[in-house]
Amino acid sequence: MKNHFDWMMALPPRKLFLLLSGLALLVTIMCFAVVATTPTLGLTLEKTDAAVGIRVSDVAASGPNAGRIAPGTVLVAMSTAKGDIPLRPDILIEDPDLLDYEAYNRFLADQQLLRRALNQDRVTMVADDGQRIVLETSLPLWTPAMTYAVIYAFYGWVGLLVVLGIWVYRPADIATRLFALSGVALFLTILTLATYGGRELALYGSTTAFLMSVNHIAVLMVAATLATLFWVYPRRLGPQPAPTIAVGLAVLAWLADQFQIGPGPQYTIYGVILLGFVCGVTVMGCQWRATRGRPLDRAALKWCVLSIFVGTFLLFALIMLPPAVGGTRLVPMAISLSSVLVLYLGLAAGLRRYRLFHLERWWFGTWQWFLGGVLVLVLDGVLVFVIGMAGAYALLLSLAIAGWIYFPLRVWLMGLLGRREPATLENSLPQLVNNLFTADSEAKIHAAWPGLLRSTFRPLHMTQRPAVDAAPDVAASEDGARLHVKALRPGKADTVLEYPDEGGRLFTRNDLRTAALLRGLTDKAINAVQAREQGADAERQRIARDLHDDVGGRILSLLRNAPDAHQEQLARNALQSLREALQALDQSADCRISDCLEDWQADCQARCQEMGVRLEWQQKVRANGATMSVRQSINIGRIFAEGLTNAFRHARPKVIAITLSGDPAELSIVMENDGVGDCEAEQHVLAGRGLHHMRTRAEELGGVFAFHLAGRSARLTASVPLSGDSPPAAAVQ
């Protein structure tokens, strides 16, 4: 079925906000109209200790009864044509919730009679000495009752505007719905109180009853929604419709109040609110457990707990608890309602967006301040009112107890709550020094960089992201959950760290400084290695020139003057080896992978034909026109050569099978022969230097090497990375 409010939900957020604010303004004007149309006597009245009687504490100089009645006069009744209406002290009670139902019903009846009498231009009051005093009524433009209503309405509007400003942007979210419902309910609670709580003497009993009814259902809704907000926020604790159940129970409690089941509102209203507060704290504890290992949710929970607990604690302790236990409020309602500012302004920031970059530091500081102040006040009150100790001594003793018991206990609790020391340079200094001073190449520094970040910050996740050219070297997300560290050199992926201390906290400014310092020092180390490699490259070029000009010339002379073919071939082999060595010294030289594959196959085929061994060559390499460095090509080629030499020297193979697979990033090699003899041959193979040389060449390229014997079969495998940097060798063996 189509929702009749779909048209409203389709409005843009700002228009919806203005519409709802306009409706709230209309309700406010109606309540103010009730206050403004209530006749006034221009008197300030207060309760007396007698069963009947109210005292005139002040007479407005500009009021209609200035000079007609003196301050201090005690009035015991209002005389009407139908008889005298007794003026009981309860007639001035700010909040009739403090009365039991019998007194409450009598209060409403007296209010009805008094308000009808005030409709006359003059009323006759009976003083405690029997004197009858005729007073005039008036409707001034502004009265103390209107001032009272405006001040209280301000508190209600603060909460209302906060919740509407959030809900209109996230109307489908269950958390903001509950939050908004609590704000609207609190607005109605305060607005109704603002209407009847500041009356000079009386409102119509029917009006007061209606306002009280709205006040009661609204305050119950505040308790129900705030108590179950933590059932769904930051994480939903279960599939059960806890908010719906809580609202249903609130409605049942309100019906019990309307039918006056029980002694009075302290059971049907404030007792239920007390139960809701206890349930809310319990659900809050369950939510704390559910957000373990989820830093963003835990941070939001901390924010909301701080706002709700402080605001609700003050609201509950100052306004709702006294009636629930049958007492009277010690703090004026106008001051107590300031807790609304703490509750809704604080909670708004946590629900709308997690701006929690500095949460860890100030959250604990604020809680320490709040709990420390509460403890001192509680101890002081206990010592003064229970023990009867003098005020000065009680304060000193309470401070001593707080210092010797509370503060050590607080430190222990902070440890349990997960407070951790932030990352510092001292923690990562040993690994940093090891990375910077033991690395013999830029590639090793790059390889050690992720480990340095991981050990310093202990992130829950660490990923590589495409580089962002305009991004700063180190930056944190707005919510403090992620730290973005730019790559150490252009073209490489950036590093993103999420949730430091294995999800125990958020990133702070101190983490930013530490990461920036680590990156700066690592940059300087890379620059130093680059300078060293540039010097080594210059030295390699000098050696290459000397080899080319001196040794190359001498070998060329031997080649031209060789006495026979054998000597000529030896000279050619020496010249070819020299050329390969010179190419290997040139770090910038490269060659196509496909060309290298053809050369390796041709060399292996020639060696096998020479030894009368059949070669089975299989290659599954996706070269795609990629290249490799000359040093990689030479080292891999010499692994093939050494593998064949070992097979020919230490075995009698009939077939040698070579399989190559890989892509431009990595090459895998498998060489097998079937000519392994007895154990003596096996021991001879393992004792040779050939395996050591092949393993060394593979490791020089950043790869791995392995050799296995199984029966009469020998198998060697090697895996060599072709992309990225590999450690430079001082020379090619």
Residue with the bigger pLDDT between 32 and 572: it is 32
Which of 307, 334, 357 finishes a domain?
357
| Residue 504 and residue 445 share a domain | yes
Q: Which residue has the higher pLDDT, 411 or 698?
A: 698
Is 733 domain-assigned?
no
Note whether 659 and 619 are within 8 A (CB): yes
Whether residue 418 is contained in a domain is answered as no
Q: What is the pLDDT of residue 4?
A: 53
Same domain, 178 and 115: no
Judge contact between 495 and 468, C-beta under 8 A: no
Classify residue 702 as left (phi > 0), alpha (psi -120 to 50) or beta: left
Q: Which residue has the tokens 């430091």?
A: 500
User: Is residue 382 situated within a structural domain?
Assistant: no
Measure CA of the first residue to CA of the last residue in the chain; give whole Å: 83
Which of 324, 357, 390 is where one domain is finished? 357
Is 375 contained in some domain? no
CATH number, residue 122: 2.30.42
Window from 75-89, 424-438, 454-468, 511-525 with minimum mean pLDDT: 424-438
Both 193 and 137 in one domain: the answer is: no
Same domain, 453 and 566: yes
In a 3-state reduction of DSSP, which class is residue 504?
coil
**pLDDT, position 682:** 46
Helix and strand totals (H; E) in the chain: 26, 17
The distance of Cα 648 from the centroid of its chain, to the nearest Å, equals 66
CATH number at residue 13: 1.20.1070
Identity of the amino acid at 483? L
User: For 440, which DSSP code?
Assistant: -
Residue 42's nearest CA partner among 20, 18, 66, 26 is 66
Predicted pLDDT of residue 119: 93
Residue whose entry in the numeric block shows the structure tokens 């009867």: 388
Distance CA 454, CA 450 (A): 6
Q: For residue 234, is the peptide bond before it cis, meaning its omega torsion is within 30 degrees of 0?
A: yes
Distance CA 69, CA 582 (A): 119
Q: Is residue 459 part of a domain?
A: yes
Overall number of domains in the chain = 4
The neighbour count for residue 573, using CB atoms within 10 Å, is: 11
List C-alpha distances in Å: 386 to 146, 209, 324, 381, 414: 40, 39, 21, 8, 31
Give residue-wise pLDDT tens across range 143-169: 999 999 998 898 899 889 888 877 887
659 CB-side CA count, 13 A: 7
**In this predicted structure, what is the pLDDT of residue 137?**
95
Q: Tens digits of per-residue pLDDT, 277-293?
A: 888 889 988 988 888 87
Is there a single domain that holds both residue 568 and residue 661?
Answer: no
Distance of CA 466 to the CA centre of its chain: 24
Q: What is the mean pLDDT of residues 199-209?
A: 95
Tens-place pLDDT, residues 580-636: 666 666 666 678 888 888 888 888 998 898 889 999 999 988 877 788 887 888 888
> Does one domain contain both 273 and 169?
yes
504: pLDDT strictly greater than 70 = no
Residue 448 lies in a domain: yes
User: 206 with 326, same domain?
Assistant: yes
**% of the chain surpassing 90 pLDDT:** 28
Same domain, 614 and 662: yes
CB 391, CB 384: distance < 8 Å: yes
Selected residue with higher pLDDT from 550 and 483: 483
Clarify whether residues 514 and 561 are in a common domain.
yes
Q: Is 694 buried (19+), middle (13-18) or exposed (0-12) by CB count in 10 A?
A: buried
Binned at pLDDT 50, 70 and 90, residue 359 comes out as: very low
Q: What is the pLDDT of residues 123-147, one digit of tens each?
A: 999 999 999 999 999 999 899 999 9
Host domain of residue 158: 6-18+145-357
Q: Among the three residues 553, 588, 623, which one is the final residue of a domain in this structure?
A: 588
Residues 34-56 have a mean pLDDT of: 94
- Asked if residue 227 and residue 88 are part of one domain, the reply reads no
Q: What is the mean pLDDT of residues 1-18?
A: 66
Radius of gyration of the chain (CA): 44
609: CATH = 3.30.565.10
> Do β-strands 482-485 and 474-476 pair in parallel, antiparallel, or remain unpaired?
antiparallel
Asked whether the beta carbons of 443 and 531 are under 8 A apart, the reply is no
pLDDT tens per residue across span 676-696: 765 444 445 444 567 888 888
Q: Residues 81, 152: one domain?
A: no
CB contact burial 456-466 (16+ within 10 A = b; e otherwise): bbbbbebeeee
171 neighbors 53 (Cβ within 8 angstroms): no
pLDDT at 726: 44
> How far is residue 224's CA from residue 182's CA, in Å, rounded to a whole number?
8
- Domain annotation covers residue 216: yes
Going from the C-alpha of 23 to that of each of 16, 338, 353, the distances in angstroms are 11, 24, 27
Q: Are residues 195 and 124 in the same domain?
A: no
**Is 11 among the domain residues?**
yes
Q: Is the pLDDT of residue 386 over 80?
A: no
